[in-house]
Structure 1
């Protein structure tokens, strides 16, 4: 990993040296161990990443938005499925009881960030109602979870422009 030394050809004492330096410092960096470690880390993250999500099947809409930074506290996730079921993490909650549950959770948490996962087929009105309930429950920082870089960016506008 460091600099090595390249030794000259040596030989008998009667030979004339062509250069003044008998050995030169090797100035090449050995990158192979670095690449090996990075590939192992890449494989670990590729295997572990799908296991980090909450197991509620939702067809997320596609956008070009960047991912939000992660904190040390486990993020609160609220899911609105295609059939209209609202779930806090993996527990189903009635819509009438949603604000009360969220207030109880907000009292225990130090972070007011919540991630809203809504199925792409759910009408915007229902998503807005859940967002209003999240705000009334004490969560002012709402992140909408989407799939990044989907075909929605490639579609032409509806009016043909």
Structure 2
């Protein structure tokens, strides 16, 4: 906003100010920053699983692994698609081009260890050799253990 102060006799004290008012720009940018900070974690979520914590390093792989998840209710998911236990291997065969494709098993920490191992054994007995457990590291990023 540009303005000038007038003297009593109508003459200008100084030339009009030509500075840009950046307050509305800063307000809009802060609102956008907050919106992106709130929206970004929501974009990276899948099936809600409460993963156990572990100290691991991330794996570097060219193809995105197939995620087999078991939620706290005992339901099975391949990526984000819910499947029955007897259809799990069939759905994995549809998603994987070969038996060499990496498969990450994600089990909610309230699910029994035996159920997770049972699913890993089922996947392994179907011929998939690259099966890994997924845990949450202390930095809250999802990591896999080979």
Same-fold call, TM > 0.5?
yes
Q: Give a deviation string over 1:57-106, Cα, whole Å, max 9, x none.
A: 000001112222232x2221111101000000011110011122223333
User: Is 1:120 aligned to residue 116 of structure 2?
Assistant: no
Deviation at 1:111, TM superposition (A): 4.4
Go from structure 1 to structure 2 and tell me whether the alpha carbon gap of 1:101 and 1:136 turns closer, same or farther (over 3 Å shift).
farther
The count of aligned residue pairs is 104
Deviation at 1:143, TM superposition (A): 1.9
1:1-40 to structure 2, matched below 5 A, reads none
The two structures, once aligned, show a CA RMSD in angstroms of 2.8
CA contact (8 A) 1:103 1:138 kept: no
Unpaired runs of 5+ residues, structure 2, are 1-36, 140-146
CA contact (8 A) 1:103 1:137 kept: no
Q: 1:69: which partner in 2?
A: 60
CA contact (8 A) 1:54 1:89 kept: no
Go from structure 1 to structure 2 and tell me whether the alpha carbon gap of 1:102 and 1:140 turns closer, same or farther (over 3 Å shift).
same
Of residues 118, 128, 133 in structure 2, which corresponds to 1:139?
A: 128
User: Is 1:98 aligned to residue 85 of structure 2?
Assistant: no
Provide the C-alpha distance between the structure 2 equivalents of 1:110 and 1:54, rounded to a whole number of angstroms. Answer: 27
User: Highest Rg: 1 or 2?
Assistant: 1
In terms of mean alpha carbon deviation, does 48-57 or 124-133 score higher? 48-57
Deviation at 1:50, TM superposition (A): 4.0
Give the TM-score of the pair, scaled to structure 2.
0.60
Provide the C-alpha distance between the structure 2 equivalents of 1:52 and 1:117, rounded to a whole number of angstroms. Answer: 19
Go from structure 1 to structure 2 and tell me whether the alpha carbon gap of 1:110 and 1:102 turns closer, same or farther (over 3 Å shift).
closer
Superposed structure 1 runs of 4+ greater than 6 Å apart: none
